[in-house]
Amino acid sequence: MRRSIDELRTFYGEPTGALVRRLLARRLSDAWGTASNCDVLGLGYATPWLDGFSDARRVIAAMPGGQGAEHYASAARNRSVLVDERRLPFASGLFDRILMVHAIEEADDPQAILIEAARTLSPSGRLIVATAARGGLWARTEATPFGHGRPFSRRQLENLVRGAGLEPSAWSPAVYVPPWRPLLGFADGFEQVGRVAFPGAAGLILLEASRRNYARPRPKGNLVVLPRPALAPAPSGATRQSHSTGVSRDSELEPQRKPLYGGVPCTD
């Protein structure tokens, strides 16, 4: 059973929710920038972050029927819609960027909603799914929406997106501060120390994936560990390189050593 739209809206209006909003917005900005000239879909309850894509061509907030929908229209090109998560009312290949938050943890069939999201993703598009981390404290308290439904490990998320025909391309743990109000003021310090000293203690996981026909070929066997645990923007064209970790998403290009930051336009 999904959290209602009223519960989610209330949470993100409180200090704890505002902190999660800020920390995830920072990771999304590093990964996608403002998503210039992109068509962006927020699936689940992604509206707290959609205003960050100020240069997007179109932004749509799709909210599952079991959750309910809220009005979202910060500009004329932005819309919200109540959807059946197993049959999204969008054409195949429509979106350049898809952000999924509070989308799969409480879904009856997480694989089905990811398959539908993959169908609407453009051939060079990129998808980020954010969920509660199985080993984190946020999944162990029901005081936040992340304490409901099923949390995921990184490996479980990777297997799930592969089952939907996507290929994992980057990942990032986030929100190391425990979900206790007296500690929220130290969140930035927890983020810096947690990555180094307690990498498994993150409250949330963000995983980025793209269509398999644009993914780097990988050998069978054990999972290949990405060189850096950080979300990285990918190119919209076949020969562009990442502006975050510098890892090329074209199998013919070698990774760069110097990290760059900033969003990559979807069109020239």
Q: Which amino acid is at 163?
A: G
pTM of the model: 0.76
234: in domain: no
pLDDT value at residue 77: 64
DSSP string of 21-75, one letter each residue: HHHHHHHHHHHHTT-TT-EEEEEES-HHHHTT-TT-SEEEEEEETTT------SS
Spatial separation of the C-alpha atoms in residues 54 and 34, rounded to whole Å? 6
What number of other Cβ atoms are within 10 A of residue 193's Cβ? 13
Q: How many residues does the chain have?
A: 268
pLDDT tens-digit series, residues 154-207: 999 999 999 999 999 999 888 888 877 777 777 777 777 767 667 778 889 999
252: in domain: no
Contact status, residue 148 vs residue 3, Cβ threshold 8 Å: yes
89: in domain: yes
- Residues in the chain predicted with pLDDT less than 50, given as ranges, are 214-230, 232-264, 268
177: in domain: yes
Distant-in-sequence, close-in-space partners of 162: CB < 8 Å, separation ≥ 6: 168
Spatial separation of the C-alpha atoms in residues 90 and 41, rounded to whole Å? 10
Q: What is the chain's alpha carbon radius of gyration, rounded to the nearest angstrom? A: 17
157: in domain: yes
* CATH code assigned at 198: 3.40.50.150
Spatial separation of the C-alpha atoms in residues 210 and 208, rounded to whole Å? 7
pLDDT value at residue 74: 61
State how many domains the chain has: 1
112: in domain: yes
Burial class (CB in 10 A: 0-12, 13-18, 19+), 215: middle
**Residue matched to tokens 């398999």:** 212
9: in domain: yes
Distant-in-sequence, close-in-space partners of 171: CB < 8 Å, separation ≥ 6: 154, 157, 205, 206, 207, 208, 226, 229, 231
Domain housing 185: 5-214
